[in-house]
Structure 1
Amino acid sequence: MRIQTNLSFYKLILLVLLFSASAKAQIQKVEPPFWYAGMQNPELQIMFYGKNIAQYEASVSNNVVIKNVEKTENPNYLFVTIDTQNLKASEFVFSFKTKNKVAFTQKYSLKERRANSANRKSYDASDMIYLIMPDRFANGNPKNDSDANLTEKGNRAEPGGRHGGDIEGIIKNLDYISSLGATTIWSTPLCEDNDKQHSYHTYGQSDVYKIDPRYGTNDDYARLSAEMHKKDMKLVMDYVTNHWGITHWMMKDIPTKTWFNQFENFTQTHHRREVLTDIHASKIDKEICTDGWFVPSMPDLNLRNPLVAKYLTQNAIWWIEFANLDGFRVDTYNYSDPAAMANWAKAITNEYPNFNIVGEIWMHNQANLAYWQKDSKIGAIENYNSNLPSVMDFTLQSQITSAFNESEGTWDNGLIKFYNNFAMDYLYPNTNNILVFAENHDTDRMNDKFKYDFPKYKLAMTLLATIRGIPQLYYGSEIGMGGDKSKGDADIRQDFPGGWNGDKNNAFTAAGRTAEQVKYFDFTSKLFNWRKTNEAVHSGKMTHYIPENNTYVYFRYTDTKTVMVVFNNNAKEQTIKTNRFKENIQNFKSGKDIISGKTFDLTTEITLEPKSAVVLELE
């Protein structure tokens, strides 16, 4: 009897092990991997992936209601939608049956949300955003420079290769970023990118639920967010809705033929996004714009497919909850179907009413930009509302790197470019919520365009710090870094000096900076730390005056504070009579320059040095 009992016991153990192994073999992926209780939208679409999983009938424990089960022509996918209304944080079990017998089960968790998660505060015009390419910023953990399961290995000698920067490197340098006056970090994507080469930019993602191991882990990303919040800083995720990478795991086994946009022959987008608002545009031009692939290595996602739209919406919300994010920047925003993107943005802002999302609308016409901002009157003409809170001011960006190089003002050159840009602000529904910048990871480097002329850099930074909108600074510019885009993208994405063991120059520390780097850093830090405290440039009104002699004057003001900004873009000293600005100067007698501390008498005239600007707090 004792022998038989033991045999029965071992048989039971064997059966349990076999059952467990069967379940693991059957279900290869579950996405989202878990979810959260108490979401405003109670419907949760869970994707189960595994060999012939669609042949099984799904059920779930704990009286959880299954609202829909959807199968596609690919039997390896099953999309199960459940109702989470009134469900508390708990674990329940999905059972998969065949012929009324349970073949295997899968546990699933609803986790507790953070307190007041839905009302999280996002970034706004009181913030300054610091843009990082993590692979090029700092290598905090050299052990993860390569990963056995990913193709491209670390190779810092290759300009376009993986250099080893990671999440740990960002965490270790948060104090440096904060010392600049930056309150927010936008990092280019961190999810896994298994391209054979140039994977460091990470816009061709191969798994959107997993941080690339060469950057760290999902928990490292959540830790970055937590460490930033301790310092009263905000984390913005770079989200990509338009495309994935050619090595995305679904490309090996596509859920449905309509998951990605496909033509009979490979078709690349023509990048002419004007067709989306062009009332005369042909259907084929519009189709190629939204459905054509960005590049051959980036399959174009079809957001008109409800399964895809739900997948991307839930993935975005999952990251917000998991990593406690403070906002999104969305790549190639208007390359996707406009109606689908409006629904995506609305679903996220329904869950998080204060959540800010800025879209990359890379166009150089204010009407085209304003069309894409939420509640645009231009979009309303066609009954369209993008639901996108913010857009990137590319018109201003291109003018910054040209206007400050034009020392002689003409009818349409020099500082008049800025006046004309802001004169079009009536097109925008919310001018305070526009991202303003001189450069980013895709554009020419500002310092290179200025030929490393420090006075021009100061002019550009002064403009960004004092105009309407949310300023963004690209890593390294604050120490004089540049790069020539004509030499390739790697040249405008160079390693930050001091981010790697053995670097001869460590610009992360005051003692490690060269004299030239100190000059750039100290000015930038003083300017943007002042900006943190001045509500007039966060949310104040703006009055500007037509430039004369390539000088430009504007005021930012509230009921209690007035800031006067004066630019001299000439190669010679300029004296400016102040009586012209009486409506804003009013009874103020003087103004104190926030950089030099010098007091300027405003009763008659002020004199500015060549290629200089002053930011005056009026007294």
Structure 2
Amino acid sequence: MKPGLWAYKLVHDKVDWRLDPTQVYRKYVGGVENSAVRVPDCSLPVLEAESSQVGGSSFAAAVRYFDGVEKNGADLESVKAVLRHNGTESPVAVDSTSGDADPVFNFSLNGLEPGKYTLVITASDKAGRVSEPLRLVFWVEPDPFEWRDALIYMIMTDRFKNGDPSNDSAPTPGVSDARADFHGGDLEGVRQVIESGALDKLGVRAIWLTPFATNPDMGYLASDQKHLVSGYHGYWPIRAREVDPRLGGEAALRAMVTAAHKHGIRVLMDYVVNHVHQGHEYFLEHKEWFRTGCVCGTAGCDWTEHRLDCVFATYMPDVNYTVPEAAQQFVDDAIWWLDEFDLDGLRVDAVKHVEDVAIMNLSASVRREFEAAGTRYFLMGETAMGWTNPNDCGCNFDAQCSIDCNKSQYDTISQYIGDYKLDGQFDFVLYHAVPYRVFAYDEQGLAHADFWTKASLSTYPEGSVMTPYIGSHDTPRFVTLATYRGQDAAHDKSVAGNQWDNVAGPPDTNEPYSRHGIALAWLLGLPGAPLLYYGDEYGQFGGADPGNREDWRSDPAALLPSEAVLLARTEMLGTARRSIEALRRGGYETILATDNFLAFARPMGDPKKTAIVAISRSGSASSTDVTLPASLNIAAGSVLADWMGGPDLMVGAGGTANISLSAWGSAIYVPK
């Protein structure tokens, strides 16, 4: 059999043709989906990692050689190993070799400084046939990282910091509104912010950057069919493997990634799998790889019914993953980006709009190429869904009915999560159930936030790392939602959704910032890998796109007093999450949930490691009696300190305690 993916199906009872549930690859043949097996070039030798281990500043690995079908035997002198680190490559010698027929090559590296490393190994047989490279990716760091440890900071690169004005572009022809054009932010600006330590102060462990492949030079119609907008956001790629020069090009990307890794920060690339721009090289050369049908959301082109074949705009051809050559090319491109620029994972755009083969083959390939040494590459997805009010289902406050009412929402998001699918997704259900309804609008109480948090934790697949959030580049800024909450005629909720005219202004009181602060306290206290959208750390205002994509303000002196207070609070919350293991890895247990008060524990099994989060939605100081669950095993007489600087929590007999919070206050208690 020739190398490549070969399609097959399981046949049950002679007539029932089924997909193989144990197979991680898929392939379409004649428009029909099949399971697929990956057949390598069997004439080549193969290298497999038998073991690998990081210990302190050392790394050791044992790599076994297997002959190809021609059985030419190993050329022991042909083994080549290169250690990649911070943009440099150094040759590595084999420490020792054992065995004859299938020899094992042992590697031992010592005195390694903290950071990310990739040991790339190849070997030849005696006929000169060279194996595919084996990549052993590992990190040297004080505490082993898990993706649930991450606070993910999203950066829209063009709107972040302009670190190199020499790559700024002229105004885009036809784009008359500056809000819809390039602003000059670049990868050098991101590097400078990383080096400044600003993200460290926030407790950031990963950054997600909007797509950085080259986008077109012209303007195109926005969804209102009136305004011309540019591709400053990155979601209209025209090149498969080129970093946009307006963002600084390849050198700037490499330098930024190196800086991030030196700070222990992982880098996620936003990967556009659903579409390209009509100027993309693939569309120009292989139109048969794409669909150019109806526009999503127009008459006769329902977003759900045509989710796989509709186009987002007439100038955005839809990738047809039933064409095997197209499906393989987009996987190959993802592997190239990850390898070439030492990235740590992907945020996969518009997941529900592509065939399952796109996600499954991407995941299987990433796992095969990069995870031989156990370092997980994070694949997070965007499957945009909503939340259905259980009242619409007649649930009458029944818990199971409420969850069942949203079953289709949960199931759609969950179907793409698994060992050889995505690691997790953005929790759209939780977003539409809680942040603006509870913390901005007061439509629901904090007990509602507690219920839907637990619903997410119990409903998504076990082991998934979900990403809760209170704002993104696709939503109005939270502080703006909290400003225009319908409290009077001048603050109609609809203003936050305006794009071009009658747009939202800055908050006119401190209350939106206070609401934003407790929303962040809730978010950063949750399980998963929460998202912090750039600017939300200080309460950047703005309505719908493009208002939610204003330039990041890098100078703390330029912040308003309320913004500076919120920034300091966010830094405390982020530092707490990074420092307190229970906030990242603990369970979730409700202590007390009412309309305006919520306390929950993040238990670790050991009461000395448990953390407790408390939040008040009251506009005045509050004092609330609680009883800690016996399951926490926190003994009477225990004293817990508030990481946020409030009074200690004294635990009495039977787990009784009194939590005192300031107006719009929050606390994070940990045992002294």
Deviations 1:115-142 (A, max 9, x none): 1644456861112111111111111111
Once the two structures are TM-superposed, the CA of residue 484 in structure 1 deviates from its matched residue by 1.5
TM-score normalized with structure 2 length: 0.66
Once the two structures are TM-superposed, the CA of residue 352 in structure 1 deviates from its matched residue by 3.0
Once the two structures are TM-superposed, the CA of residue 85 in structure 1 deviates from its matched residue by 3.9
Q: SS of the counterpart of 1:298?
A: coil
- Cα distance change of structure 1 residues 153 and 231 upon mapping to structure 2, 3 Å threshold: farther
Deviations 1:29-49 (A, max 9, x none): xxxxxxxxxxxx9869xxxxx
* Rounded Cα–Cα distance in structure 1 between residues aligned with 2:146 and 2:412: 19
Q: Does 2:564 match 1:524?
A: no
RMSD of aligned alpha carbons = 3.3
- Cα distance change of structure 1 residues 554 and 437 upon mapping to structure 2, 3 Å threshold: same
Unaligned runs of 5+ in 2: 6-39, 48-80, 85-117, 121-134, 140-144, 220-229, 388-405, 484-506
Deviations 1:338-382 (A, max 9, x none): 243222222222323411100001112564454366xx6x789xx
Match for residue 613 of structure 1? 666
Q: Does 2:587 match 1:557?
A: no
- Cα distance change of structure 1 residues 123 and 574 upon mapping to structure 2, 3 Å threshold: same
Match for residue 319 of structure 2? 301
Once the two structures are TM-superposed, the CA of residue 567 in structure 1 deviates from its matched residue by 1.8
Check conservation: 1:342, 1:385, Cα contact below 8 A.
no
Among 345, 363, 382, the residue aligned to 1:360 = 382
Deviations 1:589-610 (A, max 9, x none): 3321101152122324223333
Deviations 1:536-584 (A, max 9, x none): 1111111114622432221001133111112222334433222364443
* Rounded Cα–Cα distance in structure 2 between residues aligned with 1:182 and 1:297: 36
Among 606, 617, 623, the residue aligned to 1:575 = 623
Match for residue 167 of structure 2? 144
Check conservation: 1:431, 1:469, Cα contact below 8 A.
no
* Rounded Cα–Cα distance in structure 1 between residues aligned with 2:304 and 2:617: 42
Among 352, 355, 366, the residue aligned to 1:337 = 355
Q: SS of the counterpart of 1:497?
A: coil
* Rounded Cα–Cα distance in structure 2 between residues aligned with 1:524 and 1:315: 37
- Paired residues, what number? 482
Match for residue 240 of structure 2? 208
Deviations 1:464-523 (A, max 9, x none): 1111110111111212211021xxx1211001234xxxxxxx23xxx5544333212211
* Rounded Cα–Cα distance in structure 1 between residues aligned with 2:553 and 2:347: 26
* Rounded Cα–Cα distance in structure 2 between residues aligned with 1:578 and 1:546: 7
* Rounded Cα–Cα distance in structure 1 between residues aligned with 2:265 and 2:159: 21
Match for residue 97 of structure 1? none
Match for residue 496 of structure 1? 552
- Write out aligned runs for 1:10-89 (5 A): 85-86=44-45
Once the two structures are TM-superposed, the CA of residue 423 in structure 1 deviates from its matched residue by 2.8
* Rounded Cα–Cα distance in structure 2 between residues aligned with 1:180 and 1:490: 25
Q: SS of the counterpart of 1:206?
A: coil
* Rounded Cα–Cα distance in structure 1 between residues aligned with 2:578 and 2:43: 41
Match for residue 540 of structure 2? 481
Check conservation: 1:270, 1:289, Cα contact below 8 A.
no
- Cα distance change of structure 1 residues 467 and 42 upon mapping to structure 2, 3 Å threshold: farther
Structure possessing the higher relative contact order (Cα contacts under 8 Å, 6 or more residues apart): 1
Match for residue 96 of structure 2? none
Which has the larger share of helix?
Answer: 1
The aligned amino acid for 1:401 is Y
* Rounded Cα–Cα distance in structure 2 between residues aligned with 1:271 and 1:304: 24
Check conservation: 1:154, 1:161, Cα contact below 8 A.
no
Deviations 1:298-322 (A, max 9, x none): 1100112111111011100111111
Q: Does 2:394 match 1:394?
A: no
Among 311, 316, 328, the residue aligned to 2:329 = 311
The aligned amino acid for 2:666 is A
Identity of aligned residues (%): 24
The aligned amino acid for 1:578 is V
- Cα distance change of structure 1 residues 287 and 260 upon mapping to structure 2, 3 Å threshold: farther
Among 399, 411, 414, the residue aligned to 1:371 = 411
Q: Does 2:210 match 1:170?
A: no
Match for residue 465 of structure 1? 524
Once the two structures are TM-superposed, the CA of residue 112 in structure 1 deviates from its matched residue by 8.6
The aligned amino acid for 1:357 is L
The aligned amino acid for 2:662 is E
Check conservation: 2:351, 2:381, Cα contact below 8 A.
yes
Match for residue 649 of structure 2? 600
Check conservation: 1:369, 1:391, Cα contact below 8 A.
no
* Rounded Cα–Cα distance in structure 2 between residues aligned with 1:84 and 1:307: 23
* Rounded Cα–Cα distance in structure 2 between residues aligned with 1:143 and 1:308: 36
- Write out aligned runs for 1:66-465 (5 A): 85-86=44-45, 114-115=118-119, 117-120=135-138, 124-146=147-169, 152=172, 158-174=178-194, 175-197=197-219, 198-253=230-285, 255-257=286-288, 259-262=289-292, 266-270=293-297, 288-353=306-371, 354-365=376-387, 367-368=407-408, 370-371=410-411, 387-398=421-432, 399-407=434-442, 413-424=444-455, 425-430=457-462, 433-451=465-483, 452=507, 453-465=512-524
Once the two structures are TM-superposed, the CA of residue 82 in structure 1 deviates from its matched residue by 7.7
Check conservation: 1:43, 1:83, Cα contact below 8 A.
no
* Rounded Cα–Cα distance in structure 1 between residues aligned with 2:558 and 2:568: 14
Q: SS of the counterpart of 2:283?
A: helix
The aligned amino acid for 1:338 is D
- Cα distance change of structure 1 residues 455 and 400 upon mapping to structure 2, 3 Å threshold: same
